[in-house]
């Protein structure tokens, strides 16, 4: 399957072929041929190709604007934030897609230099990055989108690069001894899921629901998942979407994102009285998980960084380094993986931004879930 999915009406097949061949010459893989092999159904092939695409290019014409199939494919691309519209014929764009900037290729024949084709390339670069083994074209600046939604409905926001002080000061209330302060630089932007992974998302990939609190519904955090379980989930999700995209955040990335520029006990300040506005913890959870994204987010639009469920990090647990470090990844080896954020069953001091917990990679408990990261 291709990185780029071209959505078009059958009447525009020749134009789709011309564009697909041009994009393949740029170095991308493109799915556009709708001929179905024996033993496959049209729905199966389209669904698989669309789910694995990083960018959906829709060719608007009179035929495609009237096609329910094309509208449905374009809607999926728009929902995931990966739609790039192209005009190949004078037509009124369907109402729901008029807000997007469109590349006008009505006069483009496939080979000659064309400013609108260059605009299309830039739009695709911003969605999926440079093709493997190529170098950026002169004058084309690649910018990662501020947010995106993937094929199973996970929303991600771009976390900027930066430097912060990790850990807690000696006078912080309820501080633990393993929270020694040290300066950390996160050298590259990365994406972080805005919420914890839910059973709805888990079931799309794993086809089951391991959660203890199943009766709470599919929009609470998935829990009772081990670090190993999270790795299995990501491996399968990466196969669905192509490549090795998704991973757990490092412990440093997690605390950097949780703090979102703050230096206090919690992302919003030090006043514990405000915590119930941001977190599900022992004082307000009533002994169970709650739907994700219903409390206040932090300054970077991340929800439930305090409470609801603990979140696995990629790192082995170990002592913090001394002095300034860049992109730390934890201990080189160990027996315990890092957990962060506290849970519905914890007192306030466990959900502090600096609090560290840990467990063995195979441990499952109804206090533990995870959220995904991805490189930009």
Distance CA 125, CA 314 (A): 29
Bridge partners (DSSP) listed for residue 273: none
Token duo for residue 96: 């729901």
Token duo for residue 44: 């199966």
Cβ burial of 173 (10 Å; 0-12, 13-18, 19+) is: exposed
- pLDDT given at position 140: 47
User: What DSSP string runs through 119-130?
Assistant: HHHHHHHHHH-S
- pLDDT given at position 35: 62
Distance CA 248, CA 72 (A): 32
Backbone region of residue 229 per phi and psi (left: phi > 0; alpha: psi in -120 to 50; beta: other values): alpha
Containing H/E element for 47?
A: helix 42-52
- pLDDT given at position 114: 82
- pLDDT given at position 263: 95
Distance CA 204, CA 88 (A): 35
Beta-carbon-side half-sphere exposure of residue 247 (alpha carbons within 13 Å)? 16
Distance CA 304, CA 9 (A): 43
- pLDDT given at position 137: 53
Domains contained in the chain, CATH given: 4-128 (3.40.50.10140), 147-375 (3.90.1580.10)
pLDDT tens, position by position, for the chain (376 residues)? 678 999 999 999 999 999 998 998 888 889 987 665 566 676 777 888 888 888 999 999 999 999 999 999 999 988 888 999 999 999 998 887 877 789 999 999 886 678 888 889 988 888 887 776 655 555 445 456 688 889 899 999 999 999 999 999 999 999 999 999 999 999 999 999 999 999 999 999 999 999 999 999 999 999 999 999 999 999 999 988 877 789 999 999 999 999 999 999 999 999 999 999 999 999 999 999 999 999 999 999 999 999 999 999 999 999 999 999 999 999 999 999 999 999 999 999 999 999 999 999 999 999 999 999 999 8
Beta-carbon-side half-sphere exposure of residue 5 (alpha carbons within 13 Å)? 25
Axis crossing angle, helix 13-26 with helix 115-128, rounded to the nearest 10: 70
Say how many residues make up the chain.
Answer: 376
């Amino acid at each position: 399957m291709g990185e780029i999915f071209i959505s078009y009406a059958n009447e525009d097949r020749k134009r789709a072929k011309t564009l697909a061949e041009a994009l393949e010459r740029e170095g991308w893989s493109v799915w556009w041929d709708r001929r179905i092999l024996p033993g496959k159904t049209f729905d199966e092939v389209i669904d698989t190709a669309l789910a694995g695409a990083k960018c959906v290019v829709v060719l608007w014409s009179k035929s495609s604007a009237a096609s329910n199939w094309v509208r449905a494919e374009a809607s999926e691309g728009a929902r995931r934030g990966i739609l790039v519209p192209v005009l190949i014929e004078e037509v009124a764009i369907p109402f729901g897609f008029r807000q997007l900037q469109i590349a006008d290729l009505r006069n483009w024949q496939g080979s000659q230099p064309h400013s609108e084709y260059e605009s299309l390339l830039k739009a695709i670069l911003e969605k999926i990055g440079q093709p493997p083994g190529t170098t950026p074209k002169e004058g084309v600046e690649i910018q990662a989108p501020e947010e995106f939604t993937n094929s199973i409905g996970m929303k991600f926001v771009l976390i900027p690069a930066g430097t912060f002080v990790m850990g807690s000061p000696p006078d912080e209330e309820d501080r633990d001894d393993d929270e020694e302060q040290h300066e950390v630089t996160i050298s590259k932007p990365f994406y972080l899921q805005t919420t914890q992974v839910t059973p709805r998302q888990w079931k799309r990939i794993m086809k089951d629901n391991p959660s203890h609190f199943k009766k709470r519904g599919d929009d609470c955090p998935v829990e009772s998942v081990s670090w190993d379980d999270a790795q299995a989930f990501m491996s399968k999700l990466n196969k669905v979407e192509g490549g090795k995209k998704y991973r757990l955040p490092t412990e440093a990335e997690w605390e950097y994102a949780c703090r979102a520029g703050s230096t206090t006990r919690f992302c919003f300040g030090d006043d514990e009285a405000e915590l119930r506005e941001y977190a599900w913890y022992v004082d307000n959870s009533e002994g169970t998980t709650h739907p994700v994204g219903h409390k206040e987010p932090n300054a970077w639009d991340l929800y439930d960084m305090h409470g609801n469920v603990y979140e696995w990090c990629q790192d082995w647990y170990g002592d913090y380094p001394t002095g300034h470090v860049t992109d730390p990844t934890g201990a080189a080896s160990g027996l315990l993986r890092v957990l962060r954020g506290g849970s519905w069953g914890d007192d306030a001091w466990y959900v502090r931004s600096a609090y560290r917990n840990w467990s063995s990679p195979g441990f499952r408990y109804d206090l533990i879930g995870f959220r995904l990261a991805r490189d930009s």
